[in-house]
Amino acid sequence: MVKKHRANMTRKKNNEWTTDILLIDIINFSKLEVKYQLEIINFLTKSYTSMIEKMLENSKMPLSSLILGYISTGDGFYCILNPKLKGYGTILGLSFNYVSEYISKKYSYFQGLRIAVHTGKIYEFIDILGHKNYIGDGLNDCARYLEIKDYTISTIMVSDTAYESLKIFLDRYKNFNSLLIEREFKYSSPYIFEDKHGYKKEGRLVWLRKAGIINPPNTNFNSMLART
C-alpha cells in the first residue's frame, strides 16, 4: 500500500514544491526563418491548449488541478504539474508527443519535439508583471535530460526520479497501470551520462507503441481519445 505523504500534497515553506516538470523543446527551432518560428509556435500553442482543455473537460477538473504553470523558453516551454498528480507527468509527456505527430504532417519543416520529464523542486514567486512564476534546480535538472545523444523521436526522456514517481502513481491508480499495458508502454534500460557541468545523470527513454492522449485521474480511466 502506498503511503500518502502530506508534504508532497501541499505547499511547503518558502513556496517550495516537489513535483513533475516537463520540458518541451522544438528541434532546430533557432535554424528556422522567423516567419516559420512564429507559425509553428502559434500552432503548437493552440494545439496543446486545445488538448489540455479537452482533457480537463473529460476529467471534469479545472486547469489548476492539473497544472501549476507554464514557463516559455522561446523554443518551447516548461509545464509544471500540480504536486497532487506527481507521477502523471510521464503520461502527459507521452500525450504531448502524440500530438506532435499531427504537427509534423501539417508542416514539412517541423522536425519534431524533444521532451524531458523530471521530478524535482521548484519555487513559486510573483514576477515583475504580477504573475506567478517558478525557479529552482528542478527546472535546470530537467533541461539536462535533453542533452542525451541517443535521443530518438517518438520517445521521451524520463529522469530516474520521474520514473520512480511514475511507478508510485501507477501503484496508486491501478487502472492507469492496466491502460499503459494495453497501450504497450515500453522503456529502455537506464542511460547514465554526464551533463555539461560534469554531474552524473540517469534516465530512461519511454514510449507507447499504441499512442494516444490519456486523460488525468478523476475520470473514466479507460477513456483515451481515439486516434483519428
Q: Could you state, in chain order, the average pLDDT of each consecutive group of 10 residues for the chain (228 residues)?
A: 41 80 94 95 93 94 93 94 96 93 88 94 92 93 85 86 97 93 94 87 94 80 38
Instruction: Give the containing element (helix H, strand E) for 228.
Output: none
Report the distance separating Cα 194 and Cα 190, nearest Å: 13
Distances (CA, A) of 227 to 98, 102, 171: 10, 11, 27
Please tell me the pTM assigned to this model.
Answer: 0.87
Beta strands (DSSP E) in 30-188 are 67-72, 76-81, 113-126, 132-135, 156-159, 185-187
Q: What is the pLDDT of residue 12?
A: 59
| Per-residue model confidence (pLDDT) at position 166 | 98
Residue 101 has what pLDDT?
83
Q: What is the pLDDT of residue 187?
A: 94
Going by C-beta distance under 8 Å and a sequence separation of 6 or more, which residues neighbour residue 30? 75
What pLDDT sits at residue 49? 94
Cβ neighbors of 22 (< 8 A, separation 6 or more) are 78, 79, 80, 81, 89, 92, 93, 96, 115, 116, 117, 142
CA gap 164, 28 in Å, rounded? 31
Pick one of 3.40.50.850, 3.50.50.60, 3.30.70.1230, 1.10.443.10 as the CATH number of 12-216.
3.30.70.1230
